[in-house]
Structure formats: structure tokens, C-alpha cells
A and B are shown apart, each in its own frame.
Chain A
Amino acid sequence: MISREEALDVYQQMRTIRSFEEKLDALVKVGRLPGFLHLYVGQEAVAVGVCAHLNERDIVNSTHRGHGHCIAKGVDLKGMMAELFGRRTGICNGKGGSMHIADVNLGMLGANGIVGAGVPLTVGAALTAETKGTGGVAVAFFGDGATNQGQFHEGLNLAGAWKLPAVFVLENNGYGEATPIEFATAVGDLSVRASAYGIRSLVADGMDFFDVFEKAGQAIEHARNGEGPTLLECRTYRFLGHFVGDPMGYRSEAEQDDWKSRDPLETFLAKALELGLVREDALKRIDEQVAAEIEAAVEAAEAAPYPEPSDVLTDVYVEG
């Protein structure tokens, strides 16, 4: 269980992710923000529930839907916003954008434009942790769609064979783009895929922070103790389109409403209030603080300089 202080942190992170993503959605729709954005609204409990167990030695690999993982891993909000605006002050100097947003110094090895690619990278990060004895673990976040990629299967097998300190967090939101997962595999229960590689699996309710937190804690402890990798399936839902501008049309209103009635922020609040972990007035202060922080990040980003065109040529190779 978490302390009162931690509960406020959890709420603040989930609220930050939610508000950040909603802000981006609005900015793209009025043409203030360029790019190809995949938003994390609806899945906040997963990133926050897992990353709550991580420290700076631990490595995270993310996906095309990576802003939530960045925020939960502690990446600077201003730097993220400036990156999304393509500014020189961006966390990747404007080179990466949404799909490649990263902060290697914080163990955030990047969002990724290639579905499934983060899984073997995570195996590699776990290999480093084990070989160097850092005590760190490596965590991959990826979607249901990614579990049909060869990189997922080869990565899990390798992690199992070498018993590496890795956790594979499968965010099953039921769809890869427009295609429901049932169209993409005959496997009904995706968590069973772990058994093909002799590794542990756990299933969490991805809409419930407390459940994710508990199961992720078990998986991460297992990894830290040298007992090998775990596949942690979190059952969740994305509330918005696959990308900003998605015409949708592949999910019924009823299905969306059903999931939205299990909003991870509301679910967290209901439980946290019931357990006496948080008080309404403190939450309100956080909401205001988060909104102000995001506004400030947008303002700073829009005021920041663009890179110089000649910066195209820098950082291709390590110089000197």
C-alpha cells in the first residue's frame, strides 16, 4: 500500500498525463502543434502504477504512445512540450518529436515508432544491468498489437533464456490501430504467451492504479532479486483515437462508454478517498498546479527558438 504522500504524487502524475494529453489534442486540432501524435488518455494507471516502483538506475522503453511513460519516469514537462513544438529547447533538441521523445539520462530510452522494437532493447538494457551489477531493472511498455511482432517473441525468449532483470508490460487496450486484437491472433488470453518462453506472467486491471501497482511491484521485485523476467498484462483502453485525427468508426459508443465509466483517475480517487489517503482540497490544489504547469510549458515552448536549419547535420555520429 502507498502512503498519503505517495498518493498525492500518484494523483499528480495521473492528472498531469491526462491534462498534458488533452492539451496536445486541443493544440493539434487548432493547428498550433505539428506532428503525428498518439495520446495516452485512459491508460494513465499503467504508466504510473509501474513507474512508481522505479528509480534512476532503471530503464524504460516505450512506444509510439509514449508521453505518459515519459511523465511517469520523471521527464521534464517543459522539455517535452518544447520537443513537441519542434524547438531547440526540446528534450531532444527538436530532432525526435512525439514518436522519439526520450531522456536517456533519466533511463527513458525513448518512445518508438517501430511497433515491438522496444522489447529487445529492454532485453539489452537488462543485460547491461545484470552484467554490470547495477541493481537496475529494465521495463518495456508495449501494446497488444506489438505481441504479434517477431521482436516481442524473440525478446521474451532471450530474456527468459538468460533470466534477465526485465519486466514486459503489455498494455492491452484491445486494438492495434483500427483492428481489434481478436482479428490479429487466435490467442484469447495474451498473458499466456509468457508460458511459451518459460517466464512468469501476471494480469492486472489496467484501469485500477492499485492493482497495477501491486502486480508491477511483484514483477519488479522478482526481477531485482535475480529471479528473471515477467510478462505483466494490464487490461486497459484508450479513450481517444489511435492518433489525433483518427476518424475512428471501429468501436461502438457503448463499448467506449463502458470503459470510460472505469476512468482510471476516478477509480483511483474513489479508492484513495475511501482509504483516507487523500483529501478533496489537496486534490483541487494539484489540479490547479498541474494546469498552470502545462500552460507555462506551452507558453515557454511557443516562445522558444527553433533549431537552426544547419542543425540537421549534427548528432548523426559521435564527434571528437
Chain B
Amino acid sequence: MARRLSFKDAINEALFIAMRADADVIVMGEDVAGGGGRKDQGIEDAWGGPFGTTKGLIGEFGPKRVRDTPISEMGFVGAAVGAAATGLRPVAELMFIDFLGVALDPLLNQAAKMRYMFGGKARVPLTLRTNVGAGNRAASQHSQALYGFTVAIPGLKTVIPSTPADAKGLLLSAIRDDSPVIFCESKSLMNSEGEVPEGDYEIPIGEAAVLREGSDVTLVGMGSTVHTALAAAETLAADGVHADVIDLRSLYPMDETTILESLAKTGRVVVVDEATPHCGMAADIASLCADKGFDSLDAPVKKVTAPHTPVPFSPVLEDAFMPSADDVVVAVHEQLGWNA
């Protein structure tokens, strides 16, 4: 049975399921409880996570398995890596992916490389949950979509769900995966709702989803931009242009087959990504299409991304910064030669 849940409640449910099923799963991060466990003062978990995704966990699993950390990303992410390498299955929370700068070495040089460097003998079943993206007027240091950084690191997997159902299933897969997985949660989707199946299920890492079918153009989105692509597809359909909309879900490993099969059908690809344009998903997908789908291309691949700038504060500027459905429609019109 499915019922409607918000994105953040779906994440919360996945954490409960994973922690009940496996005593090695622990949760750690800043304010995941919020000075939790002060029952004497009537305070169980004051915040339950900055976005409420870890609410209630400390009540059921206790402060040993649900740990508020100091504001020490380098320290606690490193500790999560070390714990993962020695028998726990930590779910660490990096409040905003912008704090990657503070937490990078344990991911880049430790988690990602241990198995390889140690001749395949180590396992690092770490999940790092982190919040990504713009739109909240939170300005340059709390709004970035930096998943391209983690995708670029061999040894890490990176996923980004766009629906509550996928958030739950992908998080369960991520937690049970024996390699380190960066799990990105789009800020603008946290309160969105959708049907979520009950019980324990996994969405496999590495599989994209086709959310809408059409034969004229392929729109590829990830996280929040899946919804941008869907909105654009709706507008395009009114003009008789029918789009395949692919929700990438998994950034690395990436489902090349689904993209290339769609390209073979439509001949056109537009990638919609809220990250900046260089060395990112849009560039990777464009290169995939040029490399393995060249003969199917009827038009240049279009990248609809944020500009190569920091994220501005002013609402007017931030709205201009973020890729919009209109931008996607314009890109498709260009591919069709309609703007000439």
C-alpha cells in the first residue's frame, strides 16, 4: 500500500527501517537530535535534524546510535569513514553540501580510495546525506549543487532522488551498499509530497527512470530539475513536441543505456542541471551523447544549467541563476530550429 508522504518524511521512514533491520546502522551529524536525550528536561530531540529528517530516531534507538556531533565536519565525517571501515554502517549528515570544503579529505583521500589502495580488502559502507541546491534565498555558501565534485572522485557513488518514493528506496540502497554513497537531497523538494510504498524496498543505484515518454526530444534532469524538465515537457506538448523525461536518480554510476536508448528514439538531448556548467553532469552527458550516440543526434546537445557564477542572494538574481522550464523550452526550440 502506498500513501502520500513528504520527501523528508520518506527519508525519515527509510532511516527507521534501516536502523530496525541492522543494528550496525548509526546516524550522526549536527543537530540530528539537537542535544537529544535530555529527558529530565523534557527534551528528547529538539530539532530532529535541521530539516526534521531524523526526528524520532533518538527516542527509538538511543543516543549511542543517534549522535549529535560537534560542528566539526572534518572530524565527524572522518570518524564515519573510520567506523564504516571497521564494522559499522554509518549514515552521516553533512547539513549542506557547501560544507564539503570543510569535510573533503576523509571522502576524497580516505573513503574513496581505501578499498582500492588496500587491495580490495576494505569495505567502506558509508552513506553521507547532504542537502543541495538553490532557491531558498540562502546565498552563496548554502545553495550550491556540488555533486559534480563527488561524481568526479573514483570510489564514491552519488545519487539524487526527485520523488519521495525514490528518496526512500534509494536511501535504503545507499545504506546497504558496501561502497561509500553520497546521497543528495534537493532543498526545494524537502516538503514536496508523493505516493510512497509502505515497508522495505530498494531502488537500485545506477538505474534512471523514464517519467514521461515522447519521441521528439530527451530531457534529462536530476533532483529538482526533474521537475523543471517535466514542466517544460508539459509546455512543449501543447505545441506538439513530445519529450522523453529521464530522471537520472543516480549520478555515478550513471545509466548510460537509458539515455542512449532515448536519444536513439528522439535524436535530441537537453540536460537540465542546477549545478554550474563546467566539469559537471551536463558536460558528462553531452560528452556521452557525442561519444556513443553521435549517429543518433539530429541537433547539438543543449546544456541548461546555472551560469558559471556563485549563487547570488537577491531573489531576482537567484531566480535568474536557476535553470527554468522556459530555458528548457527555448533550448528545445533551438534544436528544432524554431528560434531562427
What is the size, in residues, of chain A's interface with B at 8 Å between Cβ atoms? 49
Residues of A within 8 A of B35 (CB): 175, 178-180, 183, 250
Among A112-120, A162-170, A209-217, A263-271, the one that faces the other chain is A112-120
Which of A36, A95, A250, A306 is in CB contact (< 8 Å) with B47? A250
Asked if B188 is at the interface of the complex by the 8 Å CB criterion, the answer is no
Which of A87, A94, A114, A184 is in CB contact (< 8 Å) with B70? A184
Give CA–CA (A18, B60) in the complex, Å: 41
Residues of B within 8 A of A114 (CB): 98-99, 101-102, 141
From A143, which residue of chain B is reached at the shortest CB distance? B71
Give CA–CA (A148, B71) in the complex, Å: 6
Contact: A35 with B137, CB < 8 Å?
Answer: yes
**Chain B 54-106 residues near chain A, CB threshold 8 A:** 68-75, 98-99, 101-102
Main secondary structure of the interface of A (DSSP, over half): loop
**Residue with the greatest number of chain A CB neighbours at <10 A, chosen from B31, B34, B73, B321:** B34
Residues of A within 8 A of B71 (CB): 115-116, 145-146, 148-149, 176, 184
**Chain B 272-297 residues near chain A, CB threshold 8 A:** none
**Chain B 31-51 residues near chain A, CB threshold 8 A:** 31, 34-35, 41, 43, 46-47, 50
Contact: B30 with A176, CB < 8 Å?
Answer: yes
Residues of A within 8 A of B72 (CB): 148-150
User: Contacts A148-B70, A148-B72, A250-B47 hold; do A36 and B314 have CB atoms under 8 A apart?
Assistant: no
B144 to chain A, nearest CB (A): 11
**When each residue 124-143 of chain B gets 1 if its CB lies under 8 Å from chain A and 0 otherwise, what string results?**
00000000000011111110
**When each residue 115-153 of chain A gets 1 if its CB lies under 8 Å from chain B and 0 otherwise, what string results?**
110000000000000000000000000000110111100
**Chain A 170-198 residues near chain B, CB threshold 8 A:** 175-180, 183-185
Contact: A95 with B137, CB < 8 Å?
Answer: no
Asked if B309 is at the interface of the complex by the 8 Å CB criterion, the answer is yes
Main secondary structure of the interface of B (DSSP, over half): loop
User: Contacts A99-B139, A149-B72, A183-B68 hold; do A312 and B313 have CB atoms under 8 A apart?
Assistant: no
Residues of A within 8 A of B315 (CB): 34, 86, 306
**Residue with the greatest number of chain A CB neighbours at <10 A, chosen from B34, B35, B101, B314:** B314
Contact: B313 with A35, CB < 8 Å?
Answer: yes
Residues of A within 8 A of B237 (CB): none
A250 to chain B, nearest CB (A): 3
A82 to chain B, nearest CB (A): 10
Give CA–CA (A150, B74) in the complex, Å: 7
User: Contacts A150-B72, A183-B68 hold; do A306 and B141 have CB atoms under 8 A apart?
Assistant: no
User: Contacts A114-B98, A114-B141, A185-B70 hold; do A97 and B46 have CB atoms under 8 A apart?
Assistant: no
Asked if B316 is at the interface of the complex by the 8 Å CB criterion, the answer is yes
Contact: A313 with B307, CB < 8 Å?
Answer: yes
Asked if A248 is at the interface of the complex by the 8 Å CB criterion, the answer is yes
**Residue with the greatest number of chain A CB neighbours at <10 A, chosen from B71, B75, B309:** B71
Asked if B211 is at the interface of the complex by the 8 Å CB criterion, the answer is no
Asked if A74 is at the interface of the complex by the 8 Å CB criterion, the answer is no
Give CA–CA (A180, B30) in the complex, Å: 11
Which of B47, B98, B321 is in CB contact (< 8 Å) with A312? B321
Contact: B320 with A96, CB < 8 Å?
Answer: no
Which of A150, A179, A180, A316 is in CB contact (< 8 Å) with B102? A150
Residues of A within 8 A of B307 (CB): 312-313
From B47, which residue of chain A is reached at the shortest CB distance? A178
A151 to chain B, nearest CB (A): 7
Contact: A97 with B314, CB < 8 Å?
Answer: yes
**Interface size range of chain B in the complex:** 35 or more
B187 to chain A, nearest CB (A): 11
Asked if A252 is at the interface of the complex by the 8 Å CB criterion, the answer is yes
Contact: A99 with B317, CB < 8 Å?
Answer: no
Contact: B142 with A36, CB < 8 Å?
Answer: yes
Asked if B199 is at the interface of the complex by the 8 Å CB criterion, the answer is no
Give CA–CA (A265, B110) in the complex, Å: 50
Contact: A95 with B316, CB < 8 Å?
Answer: no
Give CA–CA (A58, B121) in the complex, Å: 54
Give CA–CA (A179, B36) in the complex, Å: 8
Contact: B313 with A97, CB < 8 Å?
Answer: yes
B132 to chain A, nearest CB (A): 15
Give CA–CA (A88, B35) in the complex, Å: 41
Contact: B316 with A306, CB < 8 Å?
Answer: yes
Asked if A31 is at the interface of the complex by the 8 Å CB criterion, the answer is no
Residues of B within 8 A of A311 (CB): 312, 317
Asked if A226 is at the interface of the complex by the 8 Å CB criterion, the answer is no
Give CA–CA (A100, B317) in the complex, Å: 15
A254 to chain B, nearest CB (A): 10
Give CA–CA (A178, B47) in the complex, Å: 7
Asked if B3 is at the interface of the complex by the 8 Å CB criterion, the answer is no
Residues of A within 8 A of B102 (CB): 114, 116, 149-151
**Chain A 278-320 residues near chain B, CB threshold 8 A:** 306-313, 316
Give CA–CA (A76, B287) in the complex, Å: 49
**Chain B 296-312 residues near chain A, CB threshold 8 A:** 307-310, 312
Task: List 14 additional contacts besides A178-B47, A307-B317; criterion CB under 8 Å.
Answer: A34-B137, A86-B315, A96-B139, A97-B314, A100-B313, A113-B141, A148-B70, A149-B74, A150-B72, A183-B35, A249-B47, A307-B312, A312-B307, A312-B320
A and B contact pairs by CB, cutoff 8 A, 24 listed: A35-B138, A36-B136, A83-B313, A95-B140, A95-B310, A95-B313, A100-B140, A100-B141, A113-B142, A114-B102, A114-B141, A116-B71, A177-B31, A178-B34, A184-B69, A184-B70, A247-B46, A249-B34, A250-B35, A307-B314, A307-B316, A309-B316, A309-B319, A312-B321
